[in-house]
Amino acid sequence: MTFLSRRNLLLASIAAAALAQPALAQDKTIGIAVPNLASSFWISAVYGMESEAKTGGAKVLKLNAGGDANASQQIAQVQDLIQRKVAAIVIGATNGDAVKPIVERAIEAGIPVVGISSPPNTPKLASLVSADHADMGKLQAECLAKAVGGKGTIAMMAGPAGQAWSDLRAKGFREALAKAAPDVKIVAESRLADNRNAALGTAEDWTQRFPDLAGIYAATDDMAAGVVSAFKSASKPVKVSASNFSPTAQQMLKDGDIACTSIQQVVAQGKAAMAQALKAAAKQPVEARVVLPALLVTRENVATVDLSSVVAPADYRP
């Protein structure tokens, strides 16, 4: 199936879901709890949520934990949403295990919870919306294997541990790389926070410890930006694959700084998650699992990709 036909099918399903939405009373509020609104991913996801909430006639209350490591902050924020008696909660977890108890407390209080991308580790969610993260890792492995010529050493900037999306992408990458390029060896793996500065510091260390690296897997575009900066400063050429297709990645791709980026349709995820939350709040049937397909973007096809379901408009501020 072509990119356009897959995208049109996805948008049609989202549109149908939107038409089926019951308009909530204006005093109904959907709580949104995300790890970090400085992240390009969560900016685009929240844009999708807000757009869908407006269509469904609901208000939103956005809470930002301020970073992947701030599980205690997010726990307190979900507690606040419980006390406010919101109609439903959409949450991307800072740490799936850490937030599980407070999320289950919300559910016990009669508040349906929808997980998006990095869900709380509980089977009690009303719905879970995500990209096919394992497939995103697989696409990166195939791309990077080709970029390095099927041989040499690589390292993995695998993202934060304890988040389902980073774990699944890393697993998909390793498994696909072993099949696509058995002569490529992984010599280092970092499980740091998803931000450019953390990636920069680790990548600077790698330029010294592993001077012959042929390639680097970056779990997100923000991390890839740190990698590219470090290796450029060290004047060491390296092939880099990334994920998420933020504006930064679009520029890096056009400049030839990264080989490819596997993308999830982040805005569409936000819309789908809010659509399920609105249904759950209105006590209508929901889909237990919504998985959106992964896509690979390269320098050759970047000009033809429609970004409306992928990233928020440049002027959007959450």
Convert the pLDDT of each residue in 167-179 to its tens digit. Answer: 999 999 999 999 9
Write out pLDDT tens, residues 236-290.
999 999 998 877 888 999 899 999 999 989 999 999 999 999 999 999 999 999 9
**Contact of 260 with 249, CB cutoff 8 Å:** no
pLDDT (0 to 100) of residue 180: 96
Query: For residues 53 and 30, what is the distance between their CA atoms, to the nearest angstrom?
Result: 8
Q: Name the 3-class secondary structure at 95.
A: coil
Sign of the Cα pseudo-torsion (207, 209, 215, 219, in order): negative
Query: For residues 96 and 103, what is the distance between their CA atoms, to the nearest angstrom?
Result: 10
Q: Report which of residues 187 and 16 the model is more confident about.
A: 187
pLDDT (0 to 100) of residue 156: 98
Instruction: Please give the model's pTM, rounded to 2 decimal places.
Output: 0.72
pLDDT (0 to 100) of residue 27: 64
Q: What is the DSSP letter of 209?
A: H
Write out pLDDT tens, residues 13-63.
444 444 444 445 446 999 999 999 998 889 999 999 999 999 999 999 999
Question: 88 phi and psi, to 5 degrees?
Answer: -165, 165
CB neighbours of residue 209 within 10 Å: 11
* Chain centre to alpha carbon of residue 154: 23
